[in-house]
Structure 1
């Protein structure tokens, strides 16, 4: 079996590549800059290729000859627009459509697509609306069996969620927090990677949607406090009123670089980011996965000496 994995050099892709290598799956990981995939090159059967997938011909060559395609590409921030901005459209909607079309032309029968909990064409945020349209794009070709995954926020060694809040609390006397009461169901990156692997090897998963959440639900404020506690720097969390949170987001959007939070992030938090099983949606349990609790993993990699665990995870060990 061989797969091409778009977005494979990132946090989730690194863990997934290691799991696939363990199952003797040959993995091709395209990236615009080869050095971004240096940590994957030591994995057996994983090839990192420098390529620009914005070019249709390049995308088609990458898909040709593979058993399956995995798309993990996703962004958190975009310019504003209706129903969403150009950056969300390119990453979340147009790329999945181009991948589905390339799969159809190449005869690649499987397409595993990363979406997100809360994906909804009528959702309050641009992110949620673009993710929903991306799901429709991924499933637009009848000859390509698309499997959709909707994780809550993903944690684990190397994450940019709990680690970010841990870093903030090392330097701030308190944490002024927008959306402190928003609810999340964090899922371990190893469980997300395992879901992809099991679905890849399970033909009956084709066409299914899986919502991936961990065993427990937390408010954002609770997660921030846990991150600080495990890092040894727990600070007081101050919940911001909505109006102040909005002003904070506007301020961060004006700063150079990736903003800590945006108005669209606040809109996303208007809807609880938790699994809502229905007759049409499956969960990790349907794939036989025993979910990992945050408390069983986070203390090790958030601790001051936890960088060793991060390096081991990035090496696939």
Structure 2
């Protein structure tokens, strides 16, 4: 077994216009001061030049060196927004155009070409940074048809997943060449949002070894999915981990779908670490048991608590939950050296 690495923090929710949130170095000083050991780095041009990183070892070394000077590593690069644009249903074109640069907005085909190129850059940048995992979204073609009313035409879901697999296959191959796992955050709004949909996708990409999972239990609480059993089933594919809390408190008025309420008033909502219902002791135990190889990364999203308080509390929360693995069995003190002849005698095989 190995000890989970951490604490790390996803910087996406903390970027801003004012110090210390206005640049990667200022964020590094802030995160390090809170006790974090790594940052999950969004490939946002305000923090990180993805195209430059793909082509320049010097740029990657400079970024890694600057972070190391503040006691930090990169846990993973993130292309959540670009991954979303690999597959967009036309109903969401206008809303998701804001994730793309101005020159491809209003042109879904050009936007997808740009997003694919971004993922290819991310594969090479991850290789240059000596990373082993990358986090992203899958995008969605079938999401508007999640609820089977009106009845879905036969073949609609199958066609959507076949197309999703076709779009992602060359990207997965590029990450394979770079030696990096693609970890999809299973998230409502994405075609990959639970175990069943992940299995469908795996079938379309022939069980591609680089198609893996960013495990975030908060999204499973809101779906009422057994987030501990999920680890038992999919632990071999879990290569990244968002530590994010949530709660689900259904009422006589609303449940999983939330009644179009805002986040504060939904039955299911995200919370700062320790304020929700998730059993993180059990999660960290299971991931340790299954030899999870990566980082424990705080993703802060809460409709009540101030983000800086959530970040400050999150570092200590993760630190306390990381299990330092034992180097020998707890009952080794009672062990004794037994020869094979004695074992045979004990089993009645020496007669």
Normalised by the length of structure 2, the TM-score is 0.35
Normalised by the length of structure 1, the TM-score is 0.38
**Structure (1 or 2) with the larger CA radius of gyration:** 2
